[in-house]
Structure 1
Amino acid sequence: MKSKLAILSLAMAIPATLCAQENISQDSLSEYPNTFSSGSSRVEKFTQSSKRFNDWSISAGAGVPMLQSADLTSIKNGNGKNLFGYSAYVSINKAITHAFGINLQYDRGETRQGFFNTKDAAPANASSTMQVGARTQYDALSILGDINLSNLMRRVDNKSPYRWALHAYGGVGTLAYRAYQKDETGQRLMTEIKPFKLNSFFGQAGAGLKYKLNNRLDLEGRVMYVVTTDDEFDGGGAQYSAINKREDQISDNFLNATLGLTLNLGKHDSHLMWHDPLQEIYYKLDVLAEKNQDINVCQKGDMDGDGVCDDWDRQLDTPAGARVDGAGVALDVDLDGVFDLYDKCVTVPGPVENNGCPIEGQGTVTENETKLDGIEFDLNSDRILPSNTPILNNAVSYINSSEGGFTVVGATDTRGSDAYNKNLSEKRAGNVKSYLIQNGVQSSKLESVGNGKTDLKYPECDPASKCPEWKNRANRRVYFKAK
């Protein structure tokens, strides 16, 4: 029963291993992503063209088999003398990963065992002393698992050329043989087993050391231990014959030492079994470490020396020594057009000709005007910016403490039509008036008016394209005027 199950397993394993790197068929959808994929749009089908390494190879080699555990042996241990046979193998190999592969292997050879070589004459008393000679011709087909121990056990990268690799093999198959025995009466066939029979099941395991000659060719020395599961393999005759009663074991086992070559097939430079992912990771880390990580964050320099790179400086001609905001614009706290650097009255607006200080009795500037700060708006917007809330709250307090009324004046820059800017300025003034009323100012003390682009803080900004943006922003404003 066990033999039947083993043969069935072997028959099912061969096609499965040959197709092990193929894609799983998709039952529900034929396109990615689907219920069988990760859901990423970058999922692609695995094809031959997407491979980075070769994964097929063929191997061939020859060696010497020696019966080690049997009633007639090839080793001088009481059941025979040192006799050497011959063997050869050829295999087709498929690498599944960098550390595991499947080999379909055919072996052919002849073991020689007993007390003399069957090519020589037998002693006169060979049969009576049971010191006979024997030989066994065998053919075997097996499927082997191949574990690359060097890749599997590697934990650090020693930065050395990867040319040696230790492999472990193990598998099962079918063994056919013809066992002969010779004594003084001559040589005769004792046992014959046909392939793929119930009693032809066998197993083998061992290790091999590979050396990479080049990207195409490997040299390998291999030692395999073959368990025949048969007590008649050694040529001792029937299971309960006199010779087969020498030992209690029911399996004649032999060692097979071989030397072979492996030819790696494919269009790529390297084979998957010679790929060490850990070494590749360390190599990439070394490459990254050697790269210059310095980043030039100020490629255009700082022409005006205000500490703000020209890449995002909104005012490239800031006077030396002037304080600037994050955008590189010189500060003008009272919004009178005179930089704080030159303004003699930093918190009170005044004309340029008077160094930013007010001139008594000139123009419409009154004490009430100088107590209130105006606010600015974004381009094409009437939305009150959150940064202006403190200024407007201060205006609420001042207007409530004053006896007279105030006009809320809206203005724009010169971009756009007269009608558009008139409407926009009225909305800005109206929004500010509404904010003041909602926060406690009596509506009777306020009125609003929109002057459009006729009320410029910087008249020279007509058209706006000839002005720096900070002046255009100063023109987009709402300010307060005492009645």
Structure 2
Amino acid sequence: MKISLAIVALALAVPAVSFAQDSTAVEKYPNTFSSGSANVSRFTQESKRFNDWSISAGAGVPLVQSADLTSIKNGNGKNLFGYSAYVSIDKAITHAFGLKLQYDRGETRQGWFNTKNAAPANASLYQQVGARTQYDAISLIGDLNISNLFRRVDNKSPYRWALHGYAGIGTLAYRAYQKDEMGQRLMTEIKPFKLNALFGQAGAGLKYKVNRRLDIEGRLVYVITGDDEFDGGGAQYSDINRREDQISDNFFNATLGVTLKLGKHESHLMWHDPLQEIYYKLDVLANKNQDIEVCKKGDLDNDGVCDDWDRQLDTPAGARVDGAGVALDTDLDGVIDLYDKCVTVPGPVENAGCPTGPVTTGPVTDDTRTLEGIEFDLNSDRILPSNTPILNNAVNYINSSSGTYTVVGATDTRGTDAYNQKLSERRANNVKDYLIKNGVESGKLNSIGKGKKDLKYPECEPATKCPEWKNRANRRVYFEAK
């Protein structure tokens, strides 16, 4: 019977141990019931970052406490000490709860003398007999990590002590012997896996973490056999078994054991600080950090703007540029400030950006045929904040004139004719609306769009033939006097 229990325990233990190794691979799968992300980690053997299997073994002393024959000097016996041993396979479900499949074997000694010694004369007459019970048990035990349940895990400080609570049920097989002056005899034998072989146990243990592999534990468990014949008192209604009214012989089992934690990770789940998940993820992110390479493509024209976002890669040496690397043209006359001899006054390219006639300082007359306007971003009709000063000057310019003006919109050569025509009309209308809102009489303004048929730089057909600053100059709105 004892051999068969050991075989059963070993058969249950082997497949459990075979799953004790794990890895850090993470499997992704869509979860429509997740709280937001459909790309989450499945909780499987492959996704673990901690160990959750272990093997425990220990030995101790069982003391029959509640019975007709006891191991404690209390009127039903003297202080007698037996022995016990256990081995278990442990699985941590969470950092605060786990399960144990445990095999126990031991012998309790109870009554008035040790059965290894000679019986006193008239022992049976005064019911001062000795008894011993050899038992084997298999049980499933719940393991509550009380320390992890209530511990504040708010720092990285390691901790080594943990209080555990245990409760479980199982099957108990035993042989109870009784001895008096007439000798020793078998009183009761219970086979395992019978209805009357069920028992329960509950208790507590204090664990100390020696290292990542080994724990030491002191445990005190109270075993409820549910059987009135476990103490060796004989049949239920024998003289000895009528000493006490209880129908269950119960005993304490005090043990000292060790736990070997299995797996390749540094942390075991029962010693796992939940904040370690955050530390782990931070370490993973730290390992993925990459140095940002600034100006990967260099700055070929040496204008101080990296070629990665330089919109004018051939800026002449010495020219001032804006944030996009485009050479500045303050008066928007098509001559960049580097070559413009009249930076603030528009003039033709042939005259180095200066007016061909005298500069008008008074009110504008109808003889002035053209007002330079503003430029736009690619595929955009939005008036840029940097252009509002120019338009505000145009308000004063037009209001001081007695003539009327046409607001002309134009584009560069990218895109179709139909698209560019509509884009140029939107640009012209936006500028016209801005001028009217800022004080120009609506009767003085008209707006038309010329699409890509009115290029300031006709050689930019297609756009790839020209530097970007010329294409930008083609994307414009300007004014014509009628």
TM-score where L is the length of structure 1: 0.70
Counterparts of 1:56 and 1:450 in 2: how far apart (Å)? Answer: 78
Identity over aligned residues, as a percent?
73
Distance 2:345 2:128 in 1: 126
Q: 1:129 aligns with which of 126, 145, 159?
A: 126
Separation (CA, whole Å) in 1 of partners of 2:464 and 2:340: 26
1:257 aligned residue: 254
**Closer, same or farther: CA 172–312 of 1 in aligned 2, 3 Å:** same
Task: Using the TM superposition, name which of 67-76 and 45-54 deviates more.
Answer: 45-54
Match of 1:105 among 92, 102, 106: 102
CA 1:103–1:36: 2 relative to 1, 3 Å: same
2:22 aligns with none
Structure 1's unaligned 5+ residue stretches are 1-13, 22-30
Query: Distance between the aligned counterparts of 1:207 and 1:77, measured in 2?
Result: 25
Aligned-pair distance for 1:340? 6.3
SS in 1 for 2:233: coil
Q: Which amino acid aligns with 1:126?
A: A
- 1:107: Cα distance to partner? 1.9
Displacement, 1:171? 1.1
Q: Is contact 2:214-2:258 (8 Å) kept? A: yes
1:66 maps to which of 48, 63, 67: 63
Alpha-carbon distance between aligned partners in 1 of 2:473 and 2:293, rounded to the nearest angstrom: 33
Indicate how the Cα distance of structure 1 residues 176 and 290 shifts in structure 2: closer, same or farther if over 3 A, else same: closer
- Which letter does structure 1 place at the counterpart of 2:203? G
Residue matched to 2:77: 80
Which amino acid in 2 is paired with 1:113?
A: Q
* Worse-superposed segment, 460-469 or 203-212: 460-469
2:428 match: 432
1:176 lines up with 2:173 in the alignment:
yes
* Structure 2 residue aligned with 1:375: 374
Contact 1:400 1:441 in 2 (8 A): no
Contact 2:365 2:403 in 1 (8 A): no
- AA of the residue aligned to 1:114: G
* Deviation string, structure 1 residues 308-335 (Cα, Å, up to 9, x no partner): 666434357488795x654354554431
Provide the secondary structure at the position in 2 that maps to 1:224: strand
Q: Deviations over 1:193-235 (max 9, x none)?
A: 4444444332212233445666666554433221223343222
What amino acid maps onto 1:432 in structure 2? A
> CA separation of 1:412/1:249 partners in 2, compared to 1, >3 Å: closer, same or farther?
closer
Q: Distance in 1 between matches of 2:164 and 2:201?
A: 14
- AA aligned to 1:225 is Y
CA drift at 1:56: 3.8
Deviations 1:83-107 (A, max 9, x none): 2222232333332223211122222
Amino acid at match of 1:456: K
Shift in alpha-carbon separation, 1:416–1:210, aligned structure 2, 3 A: closer
Change (3 A) 1:430 1:406: farther
Q: 1:188 corresponds to which letter in structure 2?
A: R
* Counterparts of residues 407-426 of structure 1 (less than 5 Å): 413=412, 415=413, 424=420
In 1, distance between residues paired with 2:277 and 2:424? Answer: 64
From 152, 155, 166, the counterpart of 1:155: 152
CA gap 1:311/1:111 in 2 versus in 1, 3 angstroms: same
Is the 8 Å Cα contact of residues 383 and 431 (structure 2) preserved in structure 1? no
Cα shift readout 1:419-467 (whole Å, capped 9, x = no counterpart): x779957983797389859977559x8696959567535x786875464
1:396·1:441 contact (CA, 8 Å) conserved in 2?
no
Distance 1:339 1:75, change over 3 A: same
Q: Is the 8 A contact 1:207 1:223 kept in 2?
A: yes
- How many Å apart are 1:155 and its aligned residue? 1.7
Give the Cα separation in 1 of the matches to 2:372 and 2:424: 15
Report 1:282-301 matches (<5 A): 282=279
2:153–2:274 Cα contact (<8 Å) kept = no
Q: Which amino acid aligns with 1:375?
A: I
Q: How do 1:352-363 and structure 2 match up within 5 A?
A: 356-360=353-357
Contact 1:109 1:137 in 2 (8 A): yes
Number of residue pairs the alignment of both structures matches: 445
Q: Which amino acid aligns with 2:131?
A: A
Is 1:116 the counterpart of 2:113? The answer is yes
C-alpha deviations, 1:68-118, integer Å up to 9, x for none? 333322233443333222223233333222321112222222111122111
Matches within 5 A, 1:306-345: 311-315=308-312, 317=315, 325-329=322-326, 331-338=328-335
1:475 counterpart residue number: 474
8 Å CA contact retained: 2:55, 2:87: yes
2:328–2:336 CA contact under 8 A, matched in 1: yes
TM-score normalized by structure 2?
0.70
Aligned to 1:233: 230
State the shift of 1:271 in Å.
4.5
**Code of the aligned partner of 2:371:** L
CA distance 1:464–1:165, shift in 2 (3 Å): same
Offset at residue 123 of structure 1 (A): 1.0
Secondary structure at the counterpart of residue 472 of structure 2: helix
- Report if the CA contact (8 A) 1:426-1:448 is conserved: no
Counterpart Cα distance in 1 of 2:115 and 2:134: 13
CA drift of 1:350 comes to: 2.3
CA RMSD of aligned residues (A): 5.0
Aligned-partner residue type, residue 254 of structure 1 = F
CA distance in 2, matches of 1:289, 1:52: 17
Distance 2:118 2:449 in 1: 132
Q: Tell me which residue corresponds to 1:11.
A: none
CA offsets 1:120-158 (integer angstroms, 9 cap, x no match): 111113233332211122232321101233433332366
